[in-house]
Amino acid sequence: MDHVGQGRWYILNTLTQYENRVRDTIQRQINLDDPAVPVFEVQYPVEMIVEKRNGKTVPKPRKFFPGYVFVRMKLYKDGASDAAPDLDENVWHFITGIKGVSRIGGEMSPEEVAQWISIPGAETPVPMPSARPKFNVGDQVEIVDGPFQGSKGVIQEVDTEHGFLRVETMVFNRANSIELEPSQVEKFVE
């Protein structure tokens, strides 16, 4: 059944780490398409980021709004006026009875819906960026993060497979080779 435009968007406050469970429970109810519980759409916006672990790139989901799930539902019965809304108890009991939902936070404004529900890739993982190197052997760089922050050096090796750079820098008047991630250095021009 087509439910486009029906219901309103609401913010659900959830317990930490329960966002996926809440979303999955609501999605199961949506798939049932039960007219007694008019819930039409659920979103829990995440994006895939890339983390470095033990020299390997690992995709990891990052929550846009930890502790919140967005749901489009008909919380009030048809024919109820805005002055005296008639709560649909089936929807209320279904939503508040889900393990992990602490409360219905409120209705979202049209501006919030346009801004938050339309997040590109809200439910689809963002593809990992290509590992195209922006540094080349021989580039002069300044270390901007880590224990050698502020030191300058020259790139000796670019390892795109493992995602690190080997930079030669002077420490205590001696040349030292250091392995760094590309995010820890910036190109330096004298």
Helix or strand holding residue 24 (H, E): helix 19-32
If asked whether residues 88 and 180 sit together in one domain, one would say no
Residue 3 domain flag: no
Residue 14 domain flag: yes
pLDDT digits (tens, 9 = 90+) for 9-67: 999 999 988 999 999 999 999 999 888 889 999 988 887 777 777 767 778 787 888 89
Strands (E), the chain: 8-14, 39-43, 46-53, 56-63, 68-73, 101-107, 140-143, 152-159, 164-171, 174-180, 185-187
If asked whether residues 150 and 104 sit together in one domain, one would say no
CB 6 within 8 A of CB 74: yes
Residue 49 domain flag: yes
Residue 129 domain flag: no
If asked whether residues 29 and 80 sit together in one domain, one would say yes
Order of strands across the sheet with 185-187?
174-180, 164-171, 152-159, 140-143, 185-187
- Residue range(s) defining the domain that contains residue 42: 8-117
If asked whether residues 33 and 81 sit together in one domain, one would say yes
State how far the Cα of 106 lies from the Cα of 112, in Å rounded to an integer: 12
Q: What is the mean pLDDT of residues 113-126?
A: 60
If asked whether residues 96 and 12 sit together in one domain, one would say yes
Residue 126 domain flag: no
Confidence grade of residue 2 (pLDDT, cut at 50, 70, 90): low
Residue 41 domain flag: yes
CB 12 within 8 A of CB 71: yes
**Whole-prediction pTM:** 0.59
Residues 6 or more apart in contact with residue 163 via CB below 8 angstroms? 52, 55, 56, 57, 131, 181, 182
The CATH number of the domain holding residue 175 is 2.30.30.30
Residue 171 domain flag: yes
